[in-house]
Amino acid sequence: MKRVVITGIGAITPIGNNCADFWAAVKAGKSGVGRITKFDASELKTQIAAEVKDFDPTTVIDKKEVRRMDLYTQYTMAAATEAFESSGLDMEKEDPWRVGIISGSGIGGIETFNEQHTVYMEKGPSKVSPFFIPMMISNMGAAQVAIKYGMRGVNYNVVSACASGTHAIGDAFRQIQYGTNDVILAGGAEAAITPISMAGFCNMKALSTRNDDPETASRPFDADRDGFVMGEGAAYVVLEELEHAKARGANILCELVGYGATDDAYHMTSPIPGGEGGAKAMSLAIEDAGVDVTAIDYINAHGTSTKYNDSFETSAIKSVFGDYATKLAVSSTKSMTGHLLGAAGGVEAIVCALAIKDGYIPATINYKTPDPECDLDIVPNVGRNADIKYAMSNSLGFGGHNATIVLKKFED
């Protein structure tokens, strides 16, 4: 099997529109949650979200093309561009058939869907945009990146709800391991802060209703958590075959060494009690990495701030790590970013990569009231310096989808 390293990263998030600003905000424990500004949310039970701020797509996309892209595709283009450029890749020196992109989006172009449905209902079918379908479909983010750079290798979109981004990274990892591609951008994008999607999640009672105190609404593992906070954005990593990266003198951030994927086969929205499916994904990823459980120094948990997810993920971690679970740092950066759905896995993979690089474990902010069912070391409120050799990222999605990756400090 070929070795796979990360040589580029890019992100658009509620707490920073590039990786440097994002990571600085993570280390500062900044919350990206506030009142919804995209539309009038006064009739919703939840009136808060983690919105991307001050985003200007024309910095990376021609103005004419912006009008032909859903917001989630614009986020994809911005984050993928940062990742590609930070990697130092030059497509003129690459075999385009061996450079690809695998993206994840749980929902895709729902903003376009909302807008064009309104047009149809108010003005009739003849006024629906001819760009409606290509703007809406969730594969278009990956397609637009490929068009921009001339990437002709593997290209598709993963749709597995909140596990989409991590599945995309894991699939790309396998492709490079097997030798089918040399370089693959992988991650995810989401832009689902829209009236209809917010209404749907509200009526499921999945979202926090802490409208009077938005910044502390996302509080994973806290006894008073009352639901997740919708986030938006995109994040991509450049995965590259090790010898290919070395040959061009690439800056290697870390190595990707393990991937596990399972399904609970239990319920449309609830994780299986005890977290058996997530536990198996973690075990498979650790086995794939070829290490003992005690080698893992840090877990970036799925940690959504919902009652069942946080307690069942805690149970899953305990079942995998046994007595070592209490010695393991486990934090949720969704306490700062909210839940970016299909983009979450990409964002949290970058967190793990930078945690390894900088020797820093991010905090779970907004933690006030301990929950006896979530009794791990969740790095409450303040991050800490630590030497991290192995970091793990978990993603768990509606439908029971589970995905875990293991990253390692690079050693040649």
Residue 394 clears pLDDT 90, i.e. is over it: yes
Residue 206 clears pLDDT 90, i.e. is over it: yes
Please report, rounded to a whole number, the percentage of residues in the chain having pLDDT higher than 90. 99
pTM for the model stands at 0.97
Q: What is the pLDDT of residues 282-326, one digit of tens each?
A: 999 999 999 999 999 999 999 999 999 999 999 999 999 999 999
Structure tokens at 77: 């283009």
Mean pLDDT, range 115-127, rounded to an integer:
97
Q: In the prediction, which pLDDT does 288 show?
A: 98
Q: In the prediction, which pLDDT does 412 show?
A: 87
Q: Where are the beta strands (DSSP E) in 28-98?
A: 34-35, 48-49
Helix ranges (H only) for 155-228 are 164-177, 195-203
Residues carrying an active site annotation: 162, 302, 339
Distance CA 350, CA 410 (A): 15
* Secondary-structure class of domain 259-399 per CATH: alpha beta
The CA radius of gyration of the chain, in Å to the nearest whole number, is 20
Q: Quick one: pLDDT band at residue 234, thresholds 50, 70, 90?
A: very high
Residue 98 clears pLDDT 90, i.e. is over it: yes
Distance CA 326, CA 318 (A): 8
Residue 250 clears pLDDT 90, i.e. is over it: yes
Structure tokens at 111: 């903003």
The CA-CA-CA angle for residues 194, 109, 171, to 5°, reads: 120
Tell which residue, 276, 272, 299, has the closest CA to residue 286. Answer: 299
Maximum C-alpha span of the chain: 64
Q: Quick one: pLDDT band at residue 379, thresholds 50, 70, 90?
A: very high
Mean pLDDT, range 269-274, rounded to an integer:
91
CATH number for the region 4-247 comes to 3.40.47.10
Q: Quick one: pLDDT band at residue 9, thresholds 50, 70, 90?
A: very high
Q: Where are the beta strands (DSSP E) in 19-149?
A: 34-35, 48-49, 99-104
HSE, CB side, 13 Å, CA atoms: give it for residue 198.
28
Q: What is the pLDDT of residues 52-70, one digit of tens each?
A: 999 999 999 999 999 999 9
The CA-CA-CA angle for residues 310, 225, 375, to 5°, reads: 45
Distance CA 300, CA 330 (A): 6
Buried b (16+ CB within 10 A) or exposed e, 208-220: bebeeebbbbbbb
Mean pLDDT, range 339-358, rounded to an integer:
98
HSE, CB side, 13 Å, CA atoms: give it for residue 36.
25
**Matching fold, domains 4-247 and 259-399:** yes
Mean pLDDT, range 144-170, rounded to an integer:
98
- Name the residue ranges covered by the structural domains of the chain: 4-247, 259-399
CB 101 within 8 A of CB 185: yes
